[in-house]
A and B are shown apart, each in its own frame.
Chain A
């Protein structure tokens, strides 16, 4: 038997490994992961499924403006263009359903109108093509026409310095981040408490503590369930992004999505350290699974409040309430990444919030492990926190 290895780390990793094997690879977890992944995949594919306009719009063109129109429409993409020699032929093609619509001699032919989006595009193409044709008729060279048509896009100046919600897509990004943060904290927190009570109620903790320190046992459990949650999170993100990429939606996501995802993982890690160790600490106060709900209530309440606060914050990201909520721990764990997704947050607020949350997590780590150390071997009725802290370790 080799005894000289760094046993402290090994003990921690053994405990974490057991959690991952037994809980992460359990049937229930694998099934719930598959179900979640399928739901995420379907949600990601939904815009494409509902939109259904993956097929190009068939457009017939005829008349003087036809070449210019063709150039404009091809530049926009999404059109299958057929050129006709005359307006009559184009009209006939619409009647025969060879094309969906046709533009000829200043008229738009269709069977029963065209969709809003198609109409807008054709309208824009028509105006640009008309201007181009008119300018050419006026005797300008192609270069002159090109110069005249080059337009600088509008520069946006927002007078409300911190801005409101950028766009609907940002709003949904924020909403999804708050939901995922909530789920990714709630589930492992309950599992940690359940695991602690399981070891306590089955008395196995007494054998474990002859070869492990309490911090290894608690730390390993928190790390193990953290890894399981991270894997679930990564699987969801990978499937979501993969399906988006496959359906061509990926390009439409806001530019900051990737960085938002990364910073969310950072916030999650700190918040999880906070809630996870506290869950272990309060879990050790009771000896039976039925009692674990009562000691977990304060944690679940503050998680739920954080979530509800983040949802409220989505509609008023610049309010004082939103600022306070996203700085004060433990609410900041969910509120700050949500707020960051929908609006620009001053760097000092992000920094302050991060430091405060990390401090709170360090405090929770100390409190949780002390509670755990002092009460994990105590069996009987539920222990009060004050009583646990008074006890000698």
Chain B
């Protein structure tokens, strides 16, 4: 269990974080969402120890996070960086060793990952000679090479091609399935919706909404949507506020069971469900509130 507790951070007069708390249970994929400048990167950098918080702490499995444990984390910073004049395979293996792997383990793991990423024949090339997309894949390999216990990834999907997006998504799910807490930030909300178990939304240095994806959606439930194959107009028969969306009826503040009976009596009910907002809608709602 990784817990980020009550982080505060100021840069000069700017308050970057104002009491940010966030947690990821073993096997949980947490999406970290927020507008640019909201505090995502600052939070993640503090969690990874590359930035010190003014106050607050990072707790891992019940104890304050130490350097040795952090070495077993996988991290992808928002600003990508690789040694331009180092060979691809050598570079990925080097990071494996820095994370505590033996030379042989690191070499093997690097070769496996690069094969998954279709980079096997580029292993002997300098990173600067790869295309930008391939450099992104190498970056991904660097963050996964040591088989990390926890993943903290800042915008891992930005700049990735569809194949790499799949590899990355699978890697996140695999790590989570193996029991690792995973936290990643993204502006691609469809990916968040697809991959995450829970979401934390940050705005102006504060967490403004968080919870499991289902919880958040339930909280924001809008109206009941009913489609009926019926000739007559049922608007007047339903109770509550009834509006039409094409042929569908949208009902707010009504009795759903009674509405179902009325609809079934009138004809074949092809759809009866509460409209759920997308994460994107929840996000927009949360930040504008």
The finding on whether chains A and B are genuine partners in a shared complex, rather than unrelated, reads: yes
Which residues of A line the B interface, CB within 8 A? 1-3, 5, 7, 11, 14, 18, 21-22, 26, 198-199, 202-213, 377, 379, 392-393
User: Chain B's nearest CB lies how many Å from the CB of A196?
Assistant: 13
Q: Are A210's CB and B100's CB within 8 A? A: no
- Known A-B contacts A2-B102, A203-B79, A377-B51; the reply to A211 vs B71 at CB < 8 A is yes
- Known A-B contacts A2-B100, A14-B98, A18-B94; the reply to A7 vs B71 at CB < 8 A is yes
Cross-chain contact of B48 among A1, A14, A210, A212 (Cβ < 8 A) = A210
Chain A residue contacts of B77, Cβ below 8 A: 203, 206-207
Q: Are B72's CB and A3's CB within 8 A? A: yes
Interface string of B184-224 (1 = CB under 8 A from A): 00000000000000000000000000000000000000000
Q: Select the stretch in B81-89, B237-245, B254-262 that faces chain A.
A: B81-89
Which residues of B line the A interface, CB within 8 A? 45, 48-52, 67-68, 70-73, 75-77, 79-86, 90, 94-95, 97-102, 105, 142-143, 146-147
Binding site secondary structure of chain B: loop
- Docked Cα-Cα span, A207 to B154, in Å, equals 12
Cross-chain contact of A210 among B52, B75, B82 (Cβ < 8 A) = B75
- Docked Cα-Cα span, A344 to B208, in Å, equals 77
Q: Are A211's CB and B83's CB within 8 A? A: no
Chain B residue contacts of A1, Cβ below 8 A: 72, 100-101, 105, 146-147
Q: Are A202's CB and B98's CB within 8 A? A: no
- Docked Cα-Cα span, A253 to B216, in Å, equals 85
Q: Are A22's CB and B83's CB within 8 A? A: yes
- Docked Cα-Cα span, A207 to B101, in Å, equals 16
User: Chain A's nearest CB lies how many Å from the CB of B201?
Assistant: 25
- Docked Cα-Cα span, A11 to B101, in Å, equals 11
- Docked Cα-Cα span, A209 to B95, in Å, equals 11
Q: Are B81's CB and A205's CB within 8 A? A: yes
Q: Are B81's CB and A203's CB within 8 A? A: yes
- Docked Cα-Cα span, A210 to B83, in Å, equals 16
Q: Are B82's CB and A212's CB within 8 A? A: no
User: Chain B's nearest CB lies how many Å from the CB of A234?
Assistant: 25
Q: Are A206's CB and B52's CB within 8 A? A: no
Cross-chain contact of A207 among B68, B86, B95 (Cβ < 8 A) = B95
Q: How many A-B residue pairs have CB under 8 A?
A: 78
Which 6 pairs show the lowest CB-CB distances between chains A and B?
A204-B81, A203-B81, A203-B79, A202-B81, A206-B77, A211-B71
Q: Are B79's CB and A206's CB within 8 A? A: yes
- Docked Cα-Cα span, A11 to B67, in Å, equals 13
User: Chain A's nearest CB lies how many Å from the CB of B116?
Assistant: 19
Some 9 contacts from A to B, beta carbons below 8 A apart, are: A1-B100, A3-B72, A3-B100, A11-B98, A14-B98, A22-B85, A203-B81, A210-B71, A210-B75
User: Chain B's nearest CB lies how many Å from the CB of A190?
Assistant: 16
User: Chain B's nearest CB lies how many Å from the CB of A310?
Assistant: 34
Chain A residue contacts of B146, Cβ below 8 A: 1
Q: Are A7's CB and B100's CB within 8 A? A: yes
Chain B residue contacts of A208, Cβ below 8 A: 98
What 16 new A-B contacts, CB under 8 Å, besides A211-B70, A211-B100?
A1-B72, A2-B102, A3-B68, A3-B72, A7-B100, A11-B98, A14-B94, A18-B94, A198-B83, A204-B83, A205-B81, A206-B45, A206-B81, A207-B77, A207-B143, A211-B99
- Docked Cα-Cα span, A14 to B97, in Å, equals 8
Chain A residue contacts of B50, Cβ below 8 A: 206, 209-210, 377
Chain A minimum-CB-distance residue to B87: A22
Chain A minimum-CB-distance residue to B86: A22
User: Chain B's nearest CB lies how many Å from the CB of A23?
Assistant: 9
Chain B residue contacts of A199, Cβ below 8 A: 81, 83
- Known A-B contacts A14-B98, A22-B86, A377-B51; the reply to A210 vs B70 at CB < 8 A is yes
Chain B residue contacts of A202, Cβ below 8 A: 81-84
Chain B residue contacts of A198, Cβ below 8 A: 83-84
Chain A residue contacts of B51, Cβ below 8 A: 377
Chain B residue contacts of A26, Cβ below 8 A: 85
Chain B residue contacts of A22, Cβ below 8 A: 83, 85-86
- Known A-B contacts A14-B97, A208-B98; the reply to A203 vs B80 at CB < 8 A is yes
- Docked Cα-Cα span, A203 to B41, in Å, equals 14
- Docked Cα-Cα span, A7 to B68, in Å, equals 9
Chain B residue contacts of A21, Cβ below 8 A: 90
Chain B minimum-CB-distance residue to A208: B98
- Docked Cα-Cα span, A198 to B86, in Å, equals 12
Chain B residue contacts of A11, Cβ below 8 A: 98
Cross-chain contact of A211 among B45, B81, B98 (Cβ < 8 A) = B98
Chain A residue contacts of B90, Cβ below 8 A: 21
Chain A residue contacts of B99, Cβ below 8 A: 211
- Docked Cα-Cα span, A205 to B85, in Å, equals 15
Chain A residue contacts of B48, Cβ below 8 A: 210
Q: Are A207's CB and B75's CB within 8 A? A: yes
Chain A minimum-CB-distance residue to B102: A2
- Known A-B contacts A22-B85, A203-B79, A206-B45; the reply to A212 vs B98 at CB < 8 A is yes
- Docked Cα-Cα span, A69 to B95, in Å, equals 77
User: Chain B's nearest CB lies how many Å from the CB of A102?
Assistant: 69
Chain B residue contacts of A2, Cβ below 8 A: 100, 102
Chain B residue contacts of A212, Cβ below 8 A: 98
- Docked Cα-Cα span, A46 to B97, in Å, equals 48
Chain A minimum-CB-distance residue to B149: A1
Chain A residue contacts of B95, Cβ below 8 A: 207, 211
Chain A minimum-CB-distance residue to B85: A22
- Docked Cα-Cα span, A393 to B77, in Å, equals 20
User: Chain B's nearest CB lies how many Å from the CB of A387?
Assistant: 12
Chain A residue contacts of B82, Cβ below 8 A: 202, 204
The interface centre, meaning the residue of A1, A2, A21, A202 with most chain B CB atoms within 10 A of its CB, is A1
- Docked Cα-Cα span, A205 to B82, in Å, equals 9
- Docked Cα-Cα span, A19 to B218, in Å, equals 55
- Docked Cα-Cα span, A21 to B91, in Å, equals 11
Chain A minimum-CB-distance residue to B71: A211
- Docked Cα-Cα span, A213 to B95, in Å, equals 14
Q: Are A210's CB and B79's CB within 8 A? A: no
Chain A minimum-CB-distance residue to B52: A392
Chain B residue contacts of A203, Cβ below 8 A: 77, 79-81
Chain A minimum-CB-distance residue to B101: A1
Chain B residue contacts of A379, Cβ below 8 A: 79
Chain A minimum-CB-distance residue to B83: A204
